[in-house]
Amino acid sequence: MENRIENAIMGALVADSYALGVHWIYDTAQLDEMRYDWGALHAPIAPWHEGKRKGDFTHYGDQMVWLVEYLQRCESFDSNAYAQFWRQKMQSYKGYIDGASKAAMHALEEGNPPACGPASADLSIVGRIAPLVTCGNDVNTF
């Protein structure tokens, strides 16, 4: 791939897949004691990713893929249209659904747009927005 934007998105997805194995394990002593090959993909150890297998994405990666799919179909970003696209994906999603996603789903079900900005200090959204740089006029600026 010669396109740096595509490389950035692919890099984010590869990192997400590599992170799946130890996602949500914050105990550094536990991490130190694990016999874990940090250079390989792993199925998740934590219970919140039930059904996920080695090579899958976390819920963050899944949602980034949805954003890429949306942008490939629409070629521009419309927050209201994307909210409906995202809602359809979430209605059949089998992975972990975090608090921010639950709140957004509730708002959409009530006919309201999701609130802007997170209610917590969690910056997980940063990991899902890389595809938005494809909306720029000049891909060479990245």
CATH number for the domain that contains residue 8: 1.10.4080.10
Q: Encode pLDDT of 108-121 as tens digits.
A: 888 887 665 555 55
Residue 142 in any domain: the answer is no
Encode pLDDT of 62-79 as tens digits.
999 999 999 889 878 888
pLDDT at residue 119 in the model: 59
Query: Pick from 41, 36, 37: which is nearest to 14 by CA?
Result: 41
Please give the tally of structural domains in the chain: 1
* pLDDT averaged over every residue in the chain: 84
Radius of gyration of the chain (CA): 17
Residue 100: per-residue pLDDT: 85
User: Residue 84: is its pLDDT beyond 70?
Assistant: yes
What's the domain range around 59? 4-135
Residue 1 is predicted with a pLDDT of 43
**Residue 80 belongs to some domain of the structure:** yes
5/135: higher pLDDT: 5
Residues 43, 64 contacting (CB under 8 angstroms): no
The three-point CA angle 116-125-98 to 5° equals 90
76 domain-assigned: yes
141 within a domain of the structure (yes/no): no
The pLDDT of 28-36, averaged and rounded, is 90
Q: What is the pLDDT of residues 124-134, one digit of tens each?
A: 565 567 677 76
